[in-house]
Structure 1
Amino acid sequence: MGKKRDLNGLPNVLEQQFFSTLFYWKEGYMADWIWNAANELEISDIEIDILRGTTQPSELQIEPITANLERLRTTIQNTLAGTKFELDYITEAKFEIYISQRHKASKLFTCKCTTQDKLGNTYEGKLYTEQAYEDNFQVFRSNLFKKIQQRLKI
């Protein structure tokens, strides 16, 4: 079994990889998809569970955001194998994302990745500030009923 200190940097690696230019999906990078989807739904707090491939709130569980999570799981597996840990040693890996109203004009949000091992040890990454770069685009198709509701403020 490896040394726990070898896993200290894993959360930062996952976050840097997820928000890198390697994780592009059709119209934008992960920051763009998260930014646009969250703003359309007026959501400011997001959690992405890397191992389970889920998001909270579940409305953000869309293919552009979840499709690359498998690559992050592979990164976890490779890190564990390379540091002589069992492949199931990491039991939790999550991104906690917060979009502040104060930085909305700059398209900035914060993200922190946290992992946990099967002994209960927690590994916290740095708090990163990410920026959406691409022009805003529509993530969700709006239907006529929803548009009417918005106009009437029902």
Structure 2
Amino acid sequence: MAKLKLLKSIGHNTVHSYLSLMNYRDNGYVFEHLYNIAKDKSIDSIIVDILEGSIQPKTFEIPVIKQSLDDLRKDFERLLTGANIPLDNVYSEKAIIVFDLKNPHIGASGAELEKYNCLVEIIDKNQKSHKITVKEWWR
């Protein structure tokens, strides 16, 4: 039987990797692409549906983000396989990312570091919720 209690750590590891320095594409990190769109459009909250490979609001659906969402789902599936949890044990997995657009953290170099709150929620086949907070990669 699958150990569904592992879903919390799988969700954390999947999203932490997605928002980290390991995810560089199209001349920037994915979290930078997301933050820049959020800042330009004054949208502080996004929802990433990992199983569906979608992001809301649709303003964030640019090619580099769409490609990253495909890889995000693959990473999630790879971690599930490694934990011996079949995908059909997961009903949904979403990450809610809220950027702090007014008070970005200023690093030692004077560069803005994207400040955000991120909550990952996985609903398993039994409708049990597994929630975990993912902190910024630099904290």
If the length of structure 2 is used for normalisation, what is the TM-score? 0.81
Equivalent in the alignment of 1:10: 10
Matched, 1:66 2:71: no
Q: What is the CA–CA distance in structure 1 between the aligned matches of 2:44 and 2:56, rounded to whole Å?
A: 11
Equivalent in the alignment of 2:115: 108
The 1:130–1:22 alpha-carbon spacing in structure 2 relative to 1, beyond 3 Å, is closer
Instruction: Name the larger-Rg structure.
Output: 1
Moved more, 70-79 or 41-50: 70-79
Partner secondary structure for residue 68 of structure 1: helix
Partner secondary structure for residue 37 of structure 1: helix
Matched, 1:128 2:135: yes
Partner secondary structure for residue 67 of structure 1: helix
Q: What is the CA–CA distance in structure 2 between the aligned matches of 1:122 and 1:56, rounded to whole Å?
A: 21
Q: Measure how far apart 1:130 and its partner are.
A: 5.0
Equivalent in the alignment of 2:53: 53
Q: What is the CA–CA distance in structure 1 between the aligned matches of 2:134 and 2:73, rounded to whole Å?
A: 21
Q: Measure how far apart 1:99 and its partner are.
A: 1.6
Equivalent in the alignment of 1:146: none
If the length of structure 1 is used for normalisation, what is the TM-score? 0.74
Moved more, 26-35 or 15-24: 15-24
Q: Which runs of 5+ in 2 are unaligned?
A: 107-113
Q: What is the CA–CA distance in structure 1 between the aligned matches of 2:136 and 2:79, rounded to whole Å?
A: 24
- The alignment yields a C-alpha RMSD, in angstroms, of 2.0
Paired residue total = 131
Q: Which runs of 5+ in 1 are unaligned?
A: 132-154
Residue pairs, 1:19-58, within 5 angstroms: 19-58=19-58
Moved over 6 A (4+): none
Q: Measure how far apart 1:105 and its partner are.
A: 5.8
The 1:8–1:101 alpha-carbon spacing in structure 2 relative to 1, beyond 3 Å, is closer
Q: Which AA in structure 1 matches 2:67?
A: A
Partner secondary structure for residue 65 of structure 2: helix
Q: Measure how far apart 1:104 and its partner are.
A: 3.1
Moved more, 38-47 or 82-91: 82-91
Equivalent in the alignment of 1:78: 78
Contact 1:110 1:130 in 2 (8 A): no
Identity, % of aligned pairs? 24
